[in-house]
Structure formats: C-alpha cells, structure tokens
Structure 1
C-alpha cells in the first residue's frame, strides 16, 4: 500500500484540451525529454511568476536564492532566473556543484559542508524559491516561495495541499499577507499553455533526464527516485504496441 498522495502511473490518459496545457514536441527532443518537462517546467515557471512582483523594478540584478538547484524543478528555475538576468545563489551537494554552475547559478553552496542559512545571510536575497522543503531558511528574505512547504520527506507530494496538515504554514502565509512578517506561499503549478510554450525555446541539452525505466520496472524507477540523488526527472516509458 503506497502512502497517500504519492502519485500514479498508467498507460493511457484522458484530458480536456480546453483546460490542459498542450504544446507540440519539437522534433529535436526525445519522447523521454518531452515527457519529463511539463510538470517541472510549469512548476518552475509558476515559482518565477510568484516572486517577480516582489522584486524591485529599479534593481538591475535582484538577488534570488534557489534551494535545491539540482532537483528536477530547480534545474529549470535556475535557467528561467538566468534569462531574467537575476543574480542567483543555489544549493546542492558537492557532486552537483559544477552542474548547477553550468545551469547559470552565480554562487553554489554545498549544503553538506556549509551552512546554508549563513550563506543566505551573506547573499541577502530579495526572494527565496525553495524546491526542497523545510524551515531553516524561513525569514531570510522578504519573499519566500516553496513547492514543498515545511515537509522534508519524499513519502508524500508537496504543493499547497501541505497547508491542510500544517497550521503553522497557514498562519505564516496569513501573517505575511497582512504585513506581519515576510511574504510566504506554498504553490502549485499553474497549468498555463503560454507557460509551457516558453519551454519550446529550450535546447535539448537544457532538458535533463536522470534515467529511463520500462513500464515493467516501476519499482526500480521509484527506488531511484527515493534515493534523493536523481538529477532531473526519472521517466517511466510506456511500451509501444
């Protein structure tokens, strides 16, 4: 029995074209690349949209921290932030430092050997985008957007649903909205066609797939995902026929 809200796999889907975000796959992308992209790119684009209004239009290079830069969502958040010309600090483990730099991060902090809160205090971010979850960096920027909330476990999905079992997050968000503390939101991706169309400008090299498993290897795919060491998306391929 899988825990609640862990996701599903199936071989066929139905969707409503009027409400879904749909784009034609560029010919240079592989099918695993195309399959890996929409969820995380739309989440990253939603995070960018959520912090942009809080950045000063007079600042030539707003400072934005992206926690979890080598995560599937972090990879595209960094690329989108770089296109906007923001100064970026990101976090990852030592083995991913060069990779996260290559995505466009100006400063990369190895969370296994350095204090992330101390690095953020020195960086003085205008906003934090948290792709990891947790509470240690709360209060270190005027604007804090998270996709995982206070949780750090991979047993359940994140997003705004985490408000349902974490009243501290609800209170934190409400206080921020009335000016009693920093602005805080735990967000779900916005299913917008125009957001997904922006992804079509990505080079195939900018789409990161960690690994591809067959439909009969679902357990192995989840095992890889649950290591917490996947760089990019883990894809399950539906057999043709």
Structure 2
C-alpha cells in the first residue's frame, strides 16, 4: 500500500510517499480502508520533533512512528478475533493517538479507538473531527464546565479546534466571543459567534467584557492578561498553542507549567487541558454532529502524495480550520 513515511525529524519535505506492507490486525484491532485523513498541528510538531522535549516520548533520534497522521475516516475491511462492536463494512472514524499511521491507504487501530462515523457527514468532514473535536469537547464540557447563559471566549476561533469550539459552546447554550484575524471574521460569525474580536485591531484581554470561560488555543498571552478577561470566579482553560515563547526546547510547556503552579493560588479556576483518544468522545461528537450542532469546516482537500505541501501550508498558519487528505 501507499503511505507517507518519515525516517528522520525535519521539515515537511522529510516526508515521502512509499510502498509499505498492508498492516494486519491483531486480535483487538480492526483494519480500515482510509477514505480521508486530517492534518493537525500535532502532525507538524511530530514531523519536526518540536519541541525537542517531546522527543523523549516520540523517539530521541528519529520518530518511533514511521507513518504520520492521527485522524481518519473510512470503512472497516477486516476485524481481529476479539473484536465485538465493529463489523466489516462499517463506516468508522477515529484518532490513532501517538501511534500515528493515518496517512496511508490502510490502517490498523484498536477497537476502542474507533466509532461509527456521523451519518450526516462526508468522510472528509468526519476525518476532520476526532482530535480537534475531542479537544473542543473536553475543553468546554469537562474542563470549562460550560452552562447555559454563560459567556465563553475562544482565542483561536478560526482554527481546527476553534471552529468546533465555537459551535459546541453555542450548543451548550453559551454566549460566544470569538477571537480571530480579519479574514476569518465572517467565517466565525457563520458558525454562531455572538461577538467577534479581530486581534489585529483589538486586544481581547483589554476588552471591558468579562467571560465565565476563556478557552485559550493559541498561547500568545500571559496568564495575567488571560485572567484579566475573566469574571472574578471564571475559568481559564489552557490547551497548548503554537506560539513558542519558551523556545523550541520546551514549546508551550512554559505557559502550561505556570498555569499549574498558579492555579492553587488564585480565585480563578485554571485548567491545563489533557486529551486522550477514545470511543466515548467519538460517540459524543457523533451525537452533536447528527443533531446539527457540529459541522467541521474543511479549508481544502489534497491527495495523499501532497501531504508534505499540505503540512507546509498548515504550518505556515494559512489554513482556516482543517486540511484533509483524500485518496
């Protein structure tokens, strides 16, 4: 089969299209014929081995996972002997986590990391949902504890997670303020944002409005500034971000670490978000999608051979929401 492989850390050009053996499922796995796979910021970080501290988990000198990619959608082609909840022919979607392997024609994945794909979404839309959707869901529902009538601000509202977070916050009954660049103002409004702040013109941390929950997906503001945007008893949810004030050694870890240290000392709730893939999250996302609450935004689609160029496009900050690989 064809797959995008990587044998050393580096820029997107280190990824190559190669022929590799078709994977065989173990007893608790299913093999999926991949119809679509989505890019995430995780993918370009993993490709570069950046931040360097992450290489302790990904592989010190070269990536342990040779085939890149986490999010996928497709049809089950084979099942292991112990698989009980998935059948051959089922349309499914999922997140492979740190195992990677989605940028390929076939992928084997544990049964508990796949779920029935939303019936009202295309494979391309379904593939765009797992990692970004799980991050948005856990950030708002679990960490943020968003309730109807609350005010929620999403910093980074036009990205893969942000576009889904705006929709979910509205589904939870919140009044939503979206922070994005000028060119994405109309996009986030169509997703349901009640207020939009163009960060090229205004600083949301200086805005007089205060919010019950601030969901930070960018990491480009200090803790002091982010807390300034909260009500006295508000919640700040930190979810990494691509801005590396801490440099390429530790990346966004500096902000997350400060958040953990400061949390016990202040009245605000500060939650550093941790996400893990799982069927229960995929089932919840499917329910929201099928109820009409959640529609992934796809910026563009590309064939498998163009993954390096697509990753370069995503890394450059040009993408609006998701970039999806097909065929």
SS of match in other structure, 1:13: strand
The structure carrying a bigger helix percent of its residues is 1
Equivalent residue, structure 1, for 2:144: 51
1:219 aligns with 2:308: yes
Aligned residue pair count:
221
> Take 2:261 and 2:192, find their aligned partners in 1: how far apart are those partners?
33
Change (3 A) 1:204 1:28: farther
> Take 1:205 and 1:147, find their aligned partners in 2: how far apart are those partners?
20
Unmatched runs of 5 consecutive residues or more in structure 1: none
> Take 1:199 and 1:172, find their aligned partners in 2: how far apart are those partners?
28
Query: Could you tell me how far 1:14 is from its partner in structure 2?
Result: 2.7
Unmatched runs of 5 consecutive residues or more in structure 2: 1-8, 11-47, 52-64, 70-102
Equivalent residue, structure 2, for 1:195: 281
1:120-161 CA distances to partner (integer Å, 9 max, x unpaired)?
xx1111110011122243222232112115x514xx99xx99
CA-based RMSD = 2.9
Q: Paired residue for 2:262, among 170, 175, 180?
A: 175
1:56-79 CA distances to partner (integer Å, 9 max, x unpaired)?
x6xx61111111111110111111
1:113 aligns with 2:204: no
With structure 1 as the length reference, what TM-score do the two structures score?
0.80
The structure carrying a bigger strand percent of its residues is 2
- 8 Å CA contact retained: 1:175, 1:181: no
1:176-220 CA distances to partner (integer Å, 9 max, x unpaired)?
1x2435332332324342332232242498221111111111221
SS of match in other structure, 1:74: helix
Equivalent residue, structure 2, for 1:4: 49
- 8 Å CA contact retained: 2:125, 2:295: no
- 8 Å CA contact retained: 2:259, 2:272: no
Larger C-alpha radius of gyration, 1 or 2?
2
> Take 1:32 and 1:80, find their aligned partners in 2: how far apart are those partners?
20
Query: Could you tell me how far 1:27 is from its partner in structure 2?
Result: 4.3
> Take 2:151 and 2:218, find their aligned partners in 1: how far apart are those partners?
19
SS of match in other structure, 1:138: helix
With structure 2 as the length reference, what TM-score do the two structures score?
0.60
> Take 2:266 and 2:206, find their aligned partners in 1: how far apart are those partners?
24
Q: Paired residue for 2:122, among 24, 30, 35?
A: 30
> Take 1:212 and 1:101, find their aligned partners in 2: how far apart are those partners?
23
Query: Could you tell me how far 1:162 is from its partner in structure 2?
Result: 4.4
Query: Could you tell me how far 1:116 is from its partner in structure 2?
Result: 1.9
Moved over 4 A (4+): none
Equivalent residue, structure 2, for 1:68: 156
Equivalent residue, structure 2, for 1:185: 271
Query: Could you tell me how far 1:223 is from its partner in structure 2?
Result: 2.0
Change (3 A) 1:66 1:235: same
- 8 Å CA contact retained: 1:29, 1:204: no
SS of match in other structure, 1:47: helix
- 8 Å CA contact retained: 1:89, 1:123: no
